[in-house]
Amino acid sequence: MAISLISWNVNGIRAAEKSVVGLLESEKPDIIAFQEIKAGEESIPKGLKSLGYAMYVNSAARKGYSGTMVMTKIKPISYSTEFEDDEGRVQRLEFDDYYFVNAYFPNSRRDLSRLEFKIKFDRDFEKYIGRLEAKKPVLVCGDFNVAHKDIDIARPAENRGNAGFTDEEREWMTEFLGGGRLDTFRIFNKGAEHYTWWAYFSHARDRNIGWRIDYFVASKQMRSRIVNAGILSEIRGSDHAPIYVTLKD
């Protein structure tokens, strides 16, 4: 038996409802995590509430902004939003032998006006994951809003220093992964031109001028359980593609 997990920044769960239902029907994941749902629990489309999944929503205080959601067929031991912020960015589900964390990291913005905020969030998040790892391994998924290495972006030279590709953000990602954690995609895919986000303009997606900013990151203790990871790049409905990881049960 295997456990299938998907993560997707939907850029609005209501606008993406049809695509989400199609994805759930075709892939039948055991667990699916969403970022940037832009909705409160009362606004989640009814069509998603009748598919046999338990649903956990962490909405932002500001309506129509940010927010995360997990749908799962596997009942967690516990659920928490203990990483406190008012933008609904982090959810934690506890299972028998690992924690599952869904996260939507801040965007540092084109003018880098939120870079300091993002780096503080990143560092606080790393400490939080460290505290969880002291108890059991952790699988983190979500939109990290950073392309880690040159290979993770179509045009690195043009974008160096831009939001999502600043030295500060990339150095933090190196530090986070260097703490004994695995970028699961790179276990199975070493090559270039694999992206998870494309700008809406200039037909960037059709031309594959993109960024890989969505990740499944696992504690190294989980390596023996990870059997596959990849990008569902053909799935539309958002400016991001869904990503997946498969675990041995």
163, 107 Cβ separation under 8 angstroms: yes
The pairing of beta strand 2-9 with beta strand 31-35:
parallel
11 annotated ligand-binding residue? no
Annotated catalytic residue within 56, 98, 122, 143: 143
DSSP state, 249?
Answer: -
Annotated catalytic residue within 104, 195, 215, 244: 104
Annotated catalytic residue within 56, 98, 215, 240: 240
Q: Residue 83 has which token pair?
A: 């990483």
62, 85 Cβ separation under 8 angstroms: no
203 annotated ligand-binding residue? no
239 annotated ligand-binding residue? yes
Phi and psi for 118 in degrees, rounded to 5? -65, -45
Closest CA to 176 of 212, 121, 217: 217
Beta bridge partners of 92: 80, 101
Q: Is 240 a catalytic residue?
A: yes
- How far apart, in Å, are the Cα atoms of 47 and each of 16, 207, 246? 12, 33, 26
Q: Is 249 a catalytic residue?
A: no
36 annotated ligand-binding residue? yes
116 annotated ligand-binding residue? no
CA dihedral 12, 18, 21, 23 (to 10 degrees): -80
DSSP per-residue letters across 148-204:
-SGGGBS-HHHHTTSTTS-HHHHHHHHHHHHTTEEEHHHHH--SS---SEE-SGGGT
Q: Is 104 a catalytic residue?
A: yes
Q: Which residues are annotated as a binding site for Mg(2+)?
A: 9, 36, 143, 145, 239-240
Q: Which residues are annotated as a binding site?
A: 9, 36, 143, 145, 239-240
List, by residue number, the catalytic residues: 104, 143, 240
